[in-house]
Amino acid sequence: MRNDIDRILITREQIADRIAELGTTLTKEFDALGPEEEIVILPILTGSIIFVADLIRELAHKVRLDVVTVSSYPGKAMTSQGASIIGEMPQRIEGRHILVVDDILDSGTTISLIRRELLAAGAKSVRACVLLRKKREAAMATECEHVGFDIPDEFVVGYGLDYDHYYRNFPEIGILKPEAI
């Protein structure tokens, strides 16, 4: 697997340090909501599994974890083919504060779609937290409250992000060699 990676953009240590910072920021934000408020962490499957696992362990609050599946990059696609929700939206959203967690903000269609659906379902507030955001106009223009790293507009893998379902278990964020694609 390492042989397919051309170069590392973000190391394990950099990811861990940044997630600790995000945890501190989010804990303060949740504190400000008050003790009676219900918080739901909503990772978007599948790319966010590793990020959310590390992030929620930095949170001091009692939170509910729910999941939603969105597909936008079927198979070997390397650009968004338009986001769609697979299966059900989570239940019991009304009156709750929702933190949407995703691996990467690219075209912005995924986060925008989920935010719309959650507000339509009566969420009290919706905030988004992504590990990565590509430095491209569409991503920068998308409403997103928390961003781990801004990265160049390139296709990346590792730490949950896949190419054709592979490389999710690569522990750092890297760029594939052209011959691996």
Residue 14 binds which one of Mg ion, ligand IMP, none, with CB within 5 to 8 A depending on kind? Answer: none
| Alpha-helix residue ranges (DSSP H) falling in 34-158 | 49-56, 109-120, 137-140
Going by C-alpha positions, the residue among 106, 104, 114 that lies closest to residue 158 is 104
Q: Does 47 bind ligand IMP (CB under 6 A)?
A: yes
Phi-psi region of 69 (alpha: psi -120 to 50; beta: other; left: phi over 0): beta
147 binds ligand IMP (CB under 6 A): no
Cβ–Cβ under 8 Å, residues 153 and 132: no
- In residues, how long is the chain? 181
The minimum distance between CB 94 and Mg ion, in angstroms, equals 25
Query: 35, exposed or middle or buried, with CB in 10 Å at 0-12, 13-18, 19+?
Result: exposed
Interface with ligand IMP in residues 7-46 (CB under 6 A):
44
* Closest-CA residue to 40 (of 18, 71, 67): 67
Q: Which stretch binds Mg ion (CB under 5 A): 44-52, 131-139, 150-158, 172-180?
A: 44-52
Residues 94-123 that bind ligand IMP (CB under 6 A): 102-110
Query: Has 162 been annotated as catalytic?
Result: no
Query: Which secondary structure element, helix H or strand E, spans residue 31, and what is its range?
Result: helix 12-33
For ligand IMP, the binding residue among 10, 15, 43, 72 (CB under 6 A) is 72
Preceding omega of 24 cis (within 30 degrees of 0): no
Per-residue contact flags (x/-) with Mg ion for residues 45 to 64, judged by CB under 5 A: --x-----------------
Indicate the residue among 42 and 44 with the shorter CB distance to ligand IMP: 44
Of the residues 17, 106, 153, 164, only one is catalytic, namely 106
80 touches ligand IMP by CB under 6 A? yes
Which residues of this chain interact with ligand IMP, rule CB under 6 A? Answer: 44, 47, 72-73, 80, 83, 102-110, 155-157, 161-162
Catalytic residues: 106
